[in-house]
Amino acid sequence: MDSRGITTLLLLGAIFGILGGAVAFMRAYDGYSHFPAISKRKKLMMSLEYAGVAFVFIIGIIIIFLILYDKGMI
């Protein structure tokens, strides 16, 4: 695979990482809205945590891919 193909894959991975984080936020916030005892601020903070985890997970996969590619394993 040439460097242009890898750049394209990394760009797509970053885009899907951002989208994944946004979707995780929306799903978590919507799920917490069924519990009126949870304050709005706490719902927001817990939802942001899920979004951050989703984004970091995708970025981690990209970094692992780059390391494996650099070592010639891919």
pLDDT in tens, 9-68: 888 888 888 888 888 888 888 888 888 888 889 888 888 888 888 888 888 888 888 888
By the 8 A CB rule, do 27 and 57 touch?
Answer: no
Q: Is the pTM of this model over 0.95?
A: no
Residue 13, C-beta contacts closer than 8 angstroms, at least 6 positions apart? 58, 61, 62, 65
pLDDT at residue 1 is higher than 80: no
By the 8 A CB rule, do 10 and 62 touch?
Answer: yes
Instruction: Quote the pLDDT of residue 27.
Output: 87
Instruction: Quote the pLDDT of residue 20.
Output: 83
Instruction: Quote the pLDDT of residue 72.
Output: 81
